Amino acid sequence: MAFKNIKTSINNGIMIITISRQERLNALNFETLGELNKVIKELYNDISIMGAIITGEGEKAFVAGADITEISKLNEMNGRKSAETGQEIFQMIENCPKLIIAAVNGYALGGGCELAMACHLRVMSENAKFGQPEINLGIIPGYGGTQRLPWLVGKGKALELMLTADMVNANDAKEMGWANYITSQENLIPKCLEILNKIITKPAISVGLIIDCVNTAFHKQEDGFQTEANAFAACISTGDFKEGTAAFIEKRVPVFKGK
């Protein structure tokens, strides 16, 4: 399948999925999310594919978030729909019985951090950083970040990161359990392939069941995702959200009023 914003290749049973909007730091616009949905369905359905890597084009960004120019135009109703759609696609990634590794080659911010966290493992290049800076835009993470970040790094650290919008470098990311490995930019895909090649020789049914059992342990609070989508939609109707996104687009510092 050919796409506008995503490149795919399949070699020796491993699919490499590259988000390719380099001029926007691979930000996820709705079109790209739609394409990702189709690619992940192909990964599920094609029995010749045993595992996948998701990465971003270039050496600067994995994915720098949802596309702010698009989300700045949302209203409360389609804001909720947009969060639910992103959550569904990322849940499909998380629940895939085939191993999916995020090769985090640069900034993984907002929706990019959430995409990496929906993958089963994360390998980071030395220059990569992750963060959930949505608060600076007057919104909150809406593609599962409020749920998956605490699962990975613990409640206290997750709250701190979402409330401060601070970015975390690769060394700290590994130390706090967000990243499985750090490696050089050149070795990023080879390292992911090394891990995948080890795991795809294991019995596929066991691989899928281990992923499913571990996911089940974390999905006791399933309605946390609904709470997140509702809260994301509520932010969209605030003046602070309009101010936050406008300030990003106009390249100025936002002035928030708390309403």
Report, as residue numbers or ranges, the catalytic residues: 114, 134
Q: How far is the CB of 184 from ligand COA (least distance, A)?
A: 20
Q: Does 242 bind ligand COA (CB under 6 A)?
A: no
49-88 footprint of ligand COA as x/- string (CB under 6 A): ---------------xxxxxx-------------------
Please choose, from the candidates 197, 28, 206, 1, the residue with its C-alpha nearest in 3D space to the C-alpha of residue 116: 28
Positions 82 through 141 that interact with ligand COA (CB under 6 A): 107, 109-111, 133-134, 137
Amino acid identity of residue 91, one-letter, is: Q
What is the secondary structure of 21-78 as a DSSP string? -GGGTT-B-HHHHHHHHHHHHHHHH-TT--EEEEEESTTTEEE--B-HHHHTT--HHH
Which residue's CB is nearer to ligand COA, number 51 or number 141? 141
Shorter beta-carbon distance to ligand COA: residue 137 or 207: 137
User: Within 2-41, which residues bind ligand COA (CB under 6 A)?
Assistant: 24-25, 27
* Contact by Cβ (8 Å): 243, 138: yes
Q: Which helix (H) or strand (E) holds 176?
A: none
Closest distance to ligand COA from the beta carbon of 104 (Å) = 13
Burial 140-179 (b: 16+ CB within 10 A, else e): bbbbbbbbbbbbbbeeebbeebbeeeebbebebbbeeebb
Residues 212 and 95: beta-carbon distance below 8 Å: yes
Closer of 51 and 65 to ligand COA (Cβ): 65
Q: Which of residues 149-208 bind ligand COA (CB under 6 A)?
A: none
Q: Shortest distance, CB of residue 59 to ligand COA, whole angstroms?
A: 12
Pick 7 or 24: Cβ nearer ligand COA: 24
Q: Which of the 8 DSSP states describes residue 136? A: G
- Cβ 232 to ligand COA shortest distance, Å: 10
Shortest Å distance, C-beta 82 to ligand COA = 11
Comparison of 251 and 259: residue with beta carbon closer to ligand COA: 251
Instruction: Give the burial class of 90: count Cβ atoms within 10 A of its Cβ; 0-12 exposed, 13-18 middle, 19 or more buried.
Output: buried
| DSSP designation for 220 | G
Which residues are at the interface with ligand COA (CB under 6 A)? 24-25, 27, 64-69, 107, 109-111, 133-134, 137
